[in-house]
Structure 1
Amino acid sequence: MFLTNHDVVELTAWRRKLHAMPEVSGDEVATAAEVQAFLAETAPDKVISGLGGTGVAAVFEGDEAGPTVLFRCELDALPIEEISDLPHRSRLPGKGHMCGHDGHTATVAALARGFAKQRPQRGRVVLMFQPAEETGAGAAAVIADERFAEIRPDYSFSLHNLPGLPLGHVWLKEGIANCASRGLKIMLTGKTAHASAPETGRSPMRAIASLISALTDLSGGSVAGGDFVLATVGHVHLGEPAFGIAPAYAELWVTLRTTTNDQMQALVDAAEGLAREAAERDGLALETSYHEIFSHCDNQPEAVTILRASLDAEGVTHEPGEALRASEDFGLFGTVSRSAMFYLGAGEKHPALHNPDYDYPDDLIPLGARIFMRTARDLLG
């Protein structure tokens, strides 16, 4: 074990410190500074800060030529109020680490301590602390940053904790690991009227009401069958908070999900078609926009084989598991390298991701770090 008991105690305390100071996507300034301060003690050969916004990459070089292996974690928290009596609960109202990115960060930071003691024999390791995963913007921004060329990996690996799976068990499968998704904002504009004479205006009320059910009815299929389609209405706004005005403006936000990127266009076309029909029927102006666009995450066979060997060597119970309906922007690293992500069980009765009472299981920090370190040593020595 490359981590001492003292290391684990310190990493646990540091994870809890991060948990108490959550920053949402794109605002991870203090979190990135904490990561850089932690890394300074391990003396990486190179640190790149401000990568893709607030991202941090630490590089540990081997003495011989070899591949570049990247291990990625996420810095951002969520705009969720934490409900907890924990001593390390969020100190920031309306923000919380309800997805476990604080634990993922501590896991990858643990590798820095290992490589400080013993560099890889060949090639190099990149520890990537990525911003803005929750909005789908982070991986794209990191890869688009011109400095990413300095650390472009041959292999990329990541993990995510998974409540509902027994603590410490792993799901790892080839192929689709996470679905594609994007947020569609539908904006409808008519004309206001006095509430006593709504017929003199053009209200988007009927259009919005019909779209809520019509969009939801697009859903169907299963991820396993490869025909998965899901439209989830998440937000609706209609008019002003006044009794005397028949409304002129409405917004509807809907998340579209499909198994793969290729299937997304058909769902987009169907959703936009429904919006056009509703707008034309009631004489409304229509605008649409897209937000938080996630590509599907595809675990590539060679990378999965490498991870399976690491799990076997570390005695970790694993099975193929299922592709998740949730999205994950790690899939973009698969466009520049051989990549795979595995899911690490947080406990069968653990609060679900994005629940207000969620907290990362600290026991997963050394376990995840062991799996990653085994992977690095197998590839690089």
Structure 2
Amino acid sequence: MFLSNQDVIELAAWRQRLHAMPEVSGEEIATAAEVQRFLGETKPDGIVAGLGGTGVAVIYDSGAPGPTVMFRAELDALPIEEVGQPDHRSKIPGKGHMCGHDGHMAMLAALGRQFGRQRPKRGRAILLFQPAEETGAGAAAVIADEKFQALKPDYSFSLHNMPGLPLGHAWLKDGIANCASRGLKITLSGRTAHASMPETGISPVPAVAKLMPALTGLSKGGIATEDLVLATVTHASIGEPAFGIAPGHAEVWVTLRTMTDGEMDGLIASAETLVREASAEGRLGYALEYHDIFVHSENDPEAAALLRAAMDAEGVSHEPGETMRGSEDFGRFATVSKSAMFFLGAGEDMPNLHNPNYDFPDDLIPIGTRIFTRVARDILG
């Protein structure tokens, strides 16, 4: 299996088409339809749409007994206004592919072109275009979908582009690849009052002033070390934007992050204790909500070895690298398959991920595709 120069040109153009039509988590209807159109031309043996919401699975079946190997890319973009000026810049105000998921989709589409020309010799290859990765909801929704039971893989593989690493250089770590994280929304309820008589109300201001440094103070451990515990206040609001009203309502948002799921339980308990104590002291009601829940992502030794062997065979330089403090919901596929994820350098001088002028480098498409192709060939023939 191979990609021609014309393939690479067409895949880059398709990536740029996706870049211009970003859709955020849970809204990837047009993107999913475009995936089905583009890969429908490869005459797959099946397409499962509406998977876990808007997800799409494209199936290439050898017809012979063997394992099922799944490669995953993400459909969603981010609620970020693009400030870069490529010809293919986002046409959707306030939304942009600032994480490079458009490039990940192009790599899977490249695999699809090759499987369309030559099926695996045994087993099945499945290309999963997953929704809602950015919110941590997509993988769980896909796995819970009844349609996924017929697709359940033996192996699952994924990658993420990584600015700051040399173009095409890979990080592949045994064990934990990404940290666990979740967002905690704290709502404090008191009683508003006239600003001239604040003593007649119950203000959340003292509680917020106490909570923000106390929550941040839960952080400990070094960068990407086994004892990492990180609490980051990301948003706070108090009362109404008016000078005549003493506030009676407040919100504090904090992201909780740990190396493993087990450590997350302790961090949650500590954060909730701080909220209870501050609320009681301030005579406030409180409510807690959790959002964007990511489990830690851990590479299976056998799956990681297969990726490493593929990189060696394809001449892709690699090293163990670090555990990413950023989270990835690909980790949930470890509950149903042997899974592994690696990070592929997008260039040392590239803007960081989620930067409003980030644009996935098209030169990375054939490199990632070669690695995935070799893995598929090694497992399925």
Which bin holds the TM-score, normalised by the shorter protein?
A: over 0.9
Once residues 213 and 357 of structure 1 are traced to their aligned partners in structure 2, the CA distance between those partners, rounded to angstroms, is: 32
Q: Which residue of 2 aligns with 1:373?
A: 373
More displaced 10-residue stretch of structure 1: 216-225 or 127-136: 216-225
Give the Cα separation in 1 of the matches to 2:315 and 2:121.
Answer: 24
Aligned residue in 1 for 2:48: 48
1:343-375 CA deviation, whole Å, 9 max, x = no partner? 000111110000001000101111111100100
Task: Read off the aligned partner of 1:115 and give its amino acid letter.
Answer: F
Could you tell me which residue of structure 2 aligns to residue 351 of structure 1? 351
Task: Tell me if structure 2 keeps the 8 A contact 1:223–1:259.
Answer: no
- Tell me whether 1:167 sits opposite 2:189 in the alignment: no
Structure 2 SS opposite 1:64? coil
* Partners of 2:223 and 2:203 in 1: CA distance: 38
Q: Does 1:141 align with 2:141?
A: yes
For the residues of structure 1 that align with 2:324 and 2:85, how far apart are their CA atoms?
Answer: 30
Q: Which residue in 1 is equivalent to 2:63?
A: 63
2:182 aligned partner? 182
Mapping for residues 14-53 of structure 1, pairs under 5 Å: 14-53=14-53
1:298 and 1:252 map into 2 onto residues whose CA distance is 30
CA RMSD of aligned residues (A): 0.7
Q: CA deviation at 1:63?
A: 3.2
Deviant stretches of 4+, over 6 Å? none
Deviation at 1:209? 1.5
| TM-superposed deviation, 1:24 | 0.2
State the shift of 1:223 in Å.
5.3
Report the counterpart of residue 117 of structure 1 in structure 2: 117
Q: Residue deviations 1:249-278, cap 9 Å, x none?
A: 001110000000000010001101111111
Deviation of 1:225 after TM superposition, in Å, equals 3.2
Question: Whole-Å Cα distance in 2 between the matches of residues 252 and 348 of structure 1?
Answer: 35
> Which is further off, 220-229 or 65-74?
220-229
1:220 Cα shift? 1.3
Partner of 1:263: helix, strand, or coil? helix
Aligned partner of 1:161: which letter?
N
Following superposition, the deviation at residue 326 of structure 1 comes to: 0.2
Equivalences for residues 75-154 of structure 1 within 5 A? 75-154=75-154
CA contact (8 A) 2:164 2:350 kept: yes
* Unmatched tracts of structure 1, length 5 or more: none
Q: Secondary structure at the match of 1:119?
A: coil
Letter in 2 for 1:56: V
- 1:326 matches 2:326: yes
CA displacement at 1:222 relative to structure 2: 2.7
Alpha-carbon distance in structure 2 between the residues aligned to 1:110 and 1:245? 59
| 1:127 aligned counterpart, secondary structure | strand
Whether the 8 Å CA contact 2:236–2:252 is kept in 1: the answer is: yes
8 A contact 2:211–2:278 mirrored in 1: yes
Determine if contact 2:224/2:325 at 8 Å carries over to the other structure. no
SS of the equivalent of 1:156 reads strand
For 1:302, the equivalent position in structure 2 comes to 302
Deviations 1:21-47 (A, max 9, x none): 000000000000000000110010010
Q: Deviations over 1:267-317 (max 9, x none)?
A: 001101111111000100011010110000000100011001000000000
Q: Does structure 2 conserve the Cα–Cα contact (< 8 Å) formed by 1:228 and 1:259?
A: yes
Q: Cα offset for 1:85?
A: 1.3
| Aligned AA (1:44) | P
Q: Which residue of 2 aligns with 1:284?
A: 284
d(CA) in 2 for partners of 1:225, 1:287:
32
Give CA deviations for 1:73-97 in whole Å, capped at 9, x if unaligned: 0000000010111110101111000
For 2:101 and 2:17, locate their aligned partners in 1 and report how far apart those are by CA, in whole Å. 12
Alpha-carbon deviations, 1:205-246, whole Å to 9, x = none?
Answer: 111121111101111103553110111111111101111000
Match in the other structure for 2:243: 243
Secondary structure in structure 1 of the residue aligned to 2:233: strand
SS of 1:66 mapped into structure 2: coil
1:340 partner SS? strand
SS in 2 for 1:81: coil
SS of the residue 2:161 aligns to: strand
- The one-letter code matched in structure 1 to 2:219 is S
> Is contact 1:223-1:323 (8 Å) kept?
no
Matches of 2:160 and 2:150 in 1, distance apart? 26
| Rounded Cα–Cα distance in structure 2 between residues aligned with 1:375 and 1:282 | 58
Q: Distance in 2 between matches of 1:139 and 1:192?
A: 42
TM-score, L = length of structure 1? 0.99
Alignment-derived partner of residue 317 in structure 1:
317
Any unmatched runs of 5+ in structure 2?
none
Supply the distance in 2 between the matched residues of 1:53 and 1:134 (Cα, whole angstroms).
Answer: 14
Q: 1:27 to 1:221 in 2, by over 3 A?
A: same
Q: TM-score, normalised by structure 2?
A: 0.99
- May I ask how many residue pairs the two structures share in their alignment? 381
1:268 aligns with 2:268: yes
Cα separation, 2, equivalents of 1:89 and 1:211: 41
1:178·1:326 contact (CA, 8 Å) conserved in 2? yes
Residues 1:12 and 2:7 are matched in the alignment: no
* Residue 337 (1) aligns with residue 334 (2): no
SS in 2 for 1:38: helix
For the 8 Å contact 1:193–1:246, the answer to whether it is kept is yes
What does the per-residue CA deviation read over 1:47-74, in whole Å, with 9 as the maximum and x for residues that have no partner?
0000000000011011321000000000
Q: Measure, in 2, the Cα distance between the counterparts of 1:299 and 1:132.
A: 21
**Secondary structure of the corresponding residue to residue 78 of structure 2:** coil
